[in-house]
A and B are shown apart, each in its own frame.
Chain A
Amino acid sequence: MIAEAGLAALWLAFALALLQFCLALAGNRLGDLKTLVAPVAVAQGLLTLLAFVLLIWLFVRTDTSVELVAANSHSAKPFIYRFSGTWGNHEGSMLLWVTVLSAAGALLALIERRLPEASLRATLGAQALLALGFFSFLLIASNPFTRLDPAPPQGQGLNPLLQDPGLAFHPPTLYLGYVGLSVAFSLAVGALLTREVGPAMARAMRPWVLGAWVLLTIGIVAGSYWAYYELGWGGWWFWDPVENASLMPWLAATALLHSINVLAARGSLRAWTVMLAVVAFSMSMIGTFLVRSGILTSVHSFAVDPTRGSFILGLLIFYTGGALLLFALRIASVREGARFDPVSREGALVANNLILSVILGTVFVGTLYPVAVEAVSGEKISVGPPYFNAVTGPLVLILAALLFIGPLLRWRKDSRPNLRRIAGPALVTVAAFGLTFLDPAMGILPRLGLAFAAGLATASFLPLAGRDLRRTPLTIWGMVISHLGIAVAMAGAASDAAFTRETLAAARPGQVLGVGPWQVRFNGVDPVPGPNWTAIEGHLVATRGGTSIRLDPQSRYFSSPATETNEAAIATRWNGQLYTVIGHREGDRWQLRLWWKPFVTLIWLGGALIALGGLLAMIGRLRRERGRPLPVSGAAV
C-alpha cells in the first residue's frame, strides 16, 4: 500500500502543479481566485515531500516488492545506508530533485512578502512549469514506485562505494543547491514577464542564491574530500565530467551572487543579472543531464539510459530556450541601470563576472566537446586535466589578483588614493614569492599560488580596517571570510602540489619505511569482518620525534555486488596529513603507498570558510532586510 500511496501523492502533486500554472497564467482575470496560487504551491510541495518520505520508508523496511528497492538495497545493510540508498539510484535521486524543487516553490510562496504581487504570482507559475516537466519525467520515464512481482527474498545491495557517510549526504546537498537556483530562475522569469526587473527582484533573489551557493560549495568541498579519502589515490580534483557538472552551476552562481549585489545596491547590471540567473539554473539542469543520461561514463552515472537522457535534454532545451526567448523579447524594455565609472566597485564586479564567465565557458566547452565531436563525426575523444589545468589555472590567478582591489573600491566612482591600500598585500605577495625560492625545485604554478595566497589572505582583511569590528555588518564579515577562504584553499592546493612526499614499496612485516619526516613501521596484516564485507587490514605505526600514531588501512571485499575497495588510513596533524593505503600481496610482501601531504587540509578548510562566509552574508541579509521598506520598483538608487 505504501508504494501505491506514494504514487498517488505524486500524481496529485502533478495535478496541483498544473492547477498552479493555470491559475498563475490566468492571473487577474480570475479575480479573488488568483490568491489561491500560493496555497496550491504549498500543498504541491507537501504532497511531493510525502511521496519522498514514503519512498524512504520503503527503503528503510527493504520492501523488495518494489522494483527500485529490490535493485538497490539489501536488508543486511546498516540503517544509514538503507536510508541514504533512497537517493543512491536514478529514480530516487530524481524524486529527491523534484521534492526539493517543489519544497522551494512552497517556501517561496510562504515567505516572500516584498515582491509585487503579480511578480510573485508569475514566479510561482514559472516554478510550477518547471515542476510539471520533472513530474512528467518521473511519472513517465522513471517511476520509483513500480512493483515487482514476484518479490525476491532479498535485494541486490547498494554499490559499496556509495556506502560512506560522506557520500550519503553529498547528493542531497548538491541537489538543494541546484534546485535553489531554480527559484532564482523563476524569479528572473517572473520579473521579465511582469517587467519588474529591478532591485526588488534582486533582493528577493539574493537569499536563495546565497543559500544555493553555500550548499553547492559544501557539496563540492565534501565531494572533493570524499574522492580524496575514499578512492585511495590521494588526489582532490580530477576534472571528472561529474565534478564539472557541479562546478559549472557553482561558477555561474558565484558570478550571479556578485552581480545581484550590484543590482540590489545600485540598480545596475539588470539584464546581466537576469541572464546569469537563467544560465545558473541551466547549468544545474545540464549537470543533471550529464550525470543522468549516461552520455559520459563515470562512476556517478549509475543509471545509463538514453531515453531518460533525451527526456532531460528535451526539458533543458524547453526551459532554457523558453527563458532565453523571453529574455530576447523583453530585455529592450528593461530600464537602464545607474551609471558607474570603470574604476569602481561595480567595475571590479563586472570584471569578476567576466572572468568567472570565461572560466565557466572553458569548463563547459571542455566538458561537452567530446559529446559534440562524437555526435558530429562519431570520433571518440577525451578531454582531461592537462586541458583544464592549462586554461583555468591562469584565469584563477587573475581572479585572485582582482580580489586584492575589488573589495576596497567604492561604489560608482573611485580615485587612485584608495588603491594605495593594496601596497601592503602586494608587498606580502612579492615577499612570499621570494621565499618560495628557498625550495628551488618548486614549479611556477605552486610558487605563484603560495605567493598570491599569502597576499590575498592579507588583502582580504583590509575591508575591516578602520571599522568598529563589533558594529561591522555580518555581510562584510561574510565577504571577508569567503575571500580569506579562497586564499586558504589556494595555499592548500599549492602546498599539496609543491611539498607532497610519496613512498611506494612492497614491505615485509617488521620493515620500516620513511616518508617526509615520518618513519612508518609495517607490523603485518589481519583479516577483518565487516557488516557486509571482509577486509585485509594492514597495521602501521608511524613515528616522528617522540610521537607515534597507529594507522590501519584496509582493502575491503564486498560480496553483494562483488567489488573491492580501498579504505585509506589517514592521520591528520596541524601541519599536514599522513595518508596510507595497502595494496596487493606480493609473495611474503604487501604493497604499501604512503604520502606525507603538508597542509593539504587547508584546501577543504578554505572551502569551509568560503561556505561559512556565504552563510554569514545570508544571515546578515535576511536580518537587515526584514521589515525594510521596498524601494520604488525600478528606481535608480
Chain B
Amino acid sequence: MTLAPKHQRLVLVLLAVTALIGAVLLAMWGLADRAAYFRTPQDVTAGRAEVGVPLRLGGMVKAGSIKRQPDGVSVAFVMTDGVGEVPVRFTGIVPDLFKENSGAVAEGQLQPGGTFVADNILAKHDERYMPPQMGNQAAEMMTWETVK
C-alpha cells in the first residue's frame, strides 16, 4: 500500500496536525482535572477544594499553632490566609525555614473531616519548587496582619 508522493505528504501533514490537536486535547483533559492544584485555606473553608485528590495548600503558618507530636517526627499546625484556617498534619522532616508566621506550601490531600494531610512541606525560600502565587500570598498576608 505504497502511497503516491503527493498523497503521502498529505497524510503526513494530516498526521502531524492530528498529533498536535491530540496533544492539546490531551493536555486540556489533564488540566481540567488537575490544574486546580493550588488551593488557599479560604478555598478549603468555602468548600472549593476537592477531598482525596492531590493538592497544594498554600498560606501562612498561624502563630502559635505548631504542635510537635510525641513521636518526634510529626507536626500539626494551622494554615491560614487571613480568611480561612485549615488544620494540617505532617509526618517527616520539616524544612529549616518552616516557621510560624511565614509562608509555606503543603502538598497532600484534604481528608473528609477537613484536616489536610501533607506528605511534603515546602517553606518559603525552600530549595524545591515554590508556586509563584506564594509571593503574593505572603505579601497580602503581611498587609492583612498590619491592618489588623
Contact = CB atoms under 8 A, between A and B. Distances in A.
Interface of A: 161, 231, 233, 238, 240-241, 269, 271-272, 296-299, 336-337, 339-342, 350, 354-355, 357-362, 365-366, 369-370, 374, 380-387, 390-391, 413, 504-506, 564-565, 581, 583-584, 586-587, 589, 591, 593
Interface stretch (B77-85, B86-94, B110-118): B86-94
A350 B12 CA distance: 8
25 contacts: A272-B12, A339-B2, A339-B3, A339-B4, A340-B2, A342-B1, A360-B23, A361-B19, A361-B27, A365-B27, A370-B132, A380-B131, A380-B133, A381-B36, A382-B132, A386-B34, A387-B30, A387-B35, A387-B37, A504-B93, A565-B127, A583-B73, A584-B93, A591-B73, A593-B92
A362 B56 contact: no
Nearest to A504: B73
Contacts of A584: 93-94
B20 interface: yes
B5 A233 contact: no
Contact of B37 (A269, A357, A386): A386
Interface string B19-34: 1101110111111011
B23 A413 contact: no
Size class of the B contact interface (CB-based, 8 Å):
35 or more
Given A387-B30, A387-B31, A390-B34, A505 B8 contact: no
Contacts of A354: 15-16, 19
Nearest to B133: A380
Contact of A297 (B33, B36, B135): B135
A336 B20 CA distance: 22
B136 interface: yes
B68 to A, nearest CB: 7
Tell which of B23, B26, B28 has the most Cβ of chain A within 10 Å. B23
A299 B6 CA distance: 50
A583 B56 contact: no
A355 B132 CA distance: 31
Given A298-B130, A506-B73, A369 B31 contact: yes
A560 to B, nearest CB: 16
A564 B99 CA distance: 14
B30 A391 contact: yes
Contacts of A271: 9
Query: What are the 4 A-B residue pairs with the smallest beta carbon separation, nearest first?
Result: A506-B72, A361-B23, A583-B93, A365-B27
A269 B9 CA distance: 9
A366 B28 CA distance: 9
A382 B128 contact: no
A297 B127 contact: no
B96 interface: yes
A381 B16 CA distance: 30
Contacts of A339: 2-5, 8
B71 interface: yes
B54 A386 contact: yes
B73 A505 contact: yes
Contacts of A583: 73, 93-94
A297 to B, nearest CB: 4
B5 to A, nearest CB: 4
B30 to A, nearest CB: 4
A539 B95 CA distance: 21
A256 to B, nearest CB: 14
A362 B23 contact: yes
Contact of B129 (A161, A238, A387, A589): A238
Given A298-B130, A365-B27, A386-B37, A504 B92 contact: yes
Contacts of A240: 128-129
Contacts of A355: 19
Contact of B2 (A297, A337, A413): A413
Given A357-B16, A380-B136, A589-B72, A365 B34 contact: no
A337 B12 CA distance: 12
A358 B2 contact: no
Nearest to A374: B132
Contact of A366 (B12, B22, B31): B31
Contacts of B26: 358, 361-362, 391
A328 to B, nearest CB: 13
B24 A365 contact: yes
B34 A387 contact: yes
Nearest to B9: A336
A384 B127 CA distance: 16
